[in-house]
Amino acid sequence: MTSATLSIDLGALVRNWQALDALSEGETGAVVKANGYGLGAPVVGRALMRAGVRSFFVATAEEGNILRAAIGQGPDIYVFSGHMAGDTKPMREAALTPLLNSVDQMLRHVEALPGHPFGIQLDSGMNRLGMEPGEWSAVRDIAVAQGPTLIMSHLACADEPDHAMNAHQLAEFRAMTDGLEARRSLAATGGTLLGRPYHFDMTRPGIGLYGGLPFVDAVPVVTLDLPVIQVRDVMQGETVGYGNTWTAPRDARIATVSGGYADGLIRAMGSKATLFAGDVPCPVVGRVSMDLMTVDVTELDHDPAELQLMGRHQSVDTVAEAAGTIGYEILTSLGLRYARNLMT
């Protein structure tokens, strides 16, 4: 088989949710946007629903449609982008709950789907999505009278516990929502780890479920094994890969593995990345190309059949660091060519 194997430990995913759930007294939802952070929203959603999740969060109505088909009726599916033009039919048919971001969205929702559930997203300082304080003040009484199922905001710097923005946004969110009867949510993974003042009625972890930072106690969820297509001897002074960017400092044994930037293995990781043969680290040499990577396996006493990029020795965040990015990008970039192995 020339396809790499992406193993997804659904049991570990559930344990991560349970660990984050134990940190707060309110409800713990789950963010499964971007196709379950690249791991497959249907399989992730079903596993989390069996574990007890009753509130899911997606980015768009289209994502909500796919998730609803997988998990059936019952759990709430909140849509971060709110009620966009063209969303009325999927909102109604899939029983999705838009998180309304503006007065325009509120008018569209009330007119198109009177009596249909909705939530509200407020901008507490991130300046990305949600109603700003002045806008919210103008419609607050009217909006609350309609009975929102959830009022939420999002923290900009929750992965930096000491950042002043966290306390600032907490104060802003409380100023906009204290005294209301609607359920409130401010914390994703990082906010959940900030402690009780940030928890309110619901936390909604995302990256922490999938084994990523800032949840340092997360159980690894993803293992990625890349098959070796060919192994060759490279003499001292010869070059490897596009652009001749790596020159062998000695006679070397070089393995070519199946996997490249078309599979979400970002080109920028280049020679900073490491793969593993068992416990032995094997550095990537030369450029990451569309379908292939070249790896120095000189230190091994055998030619390996496969090498591991993510797993026991290396987390998604370590791989991300080599590429100068974050674990979120690595996970959500994982391609469709992998043979996916689901473990429970």
- Cis geometry, peptide bond prior to residue 98 (ω within 30 degrees of 0): no
Angle between helices 164-177 and 133-145 (to 10 degrees): 40
- Interatomic CA distance for residues 95 and 53, integer angstroms: 17
From the candidates 33, 37, 198, 210, give the one annotated as an active-site residue: 33
Catalytic annotation present for 33: yes
Backbone angles phi, psi at 61, to 5 degrees: -65, -35
- Interatomic CA distance for residues 46 and 52, integer angstroms: 10
Name 172's Cβ contacts closer than 8 Å, sequence gap at least 6: 124, 125, 133, 153
From the candidates 37, 78, 242, 328, give the one annotated as an active-site residue: 242
Residue with tokens 């713990």: 28
Catalytic annotation present for 242: yes
Question: Which amino acids are annotated catalytic?
Answer: 33, 242
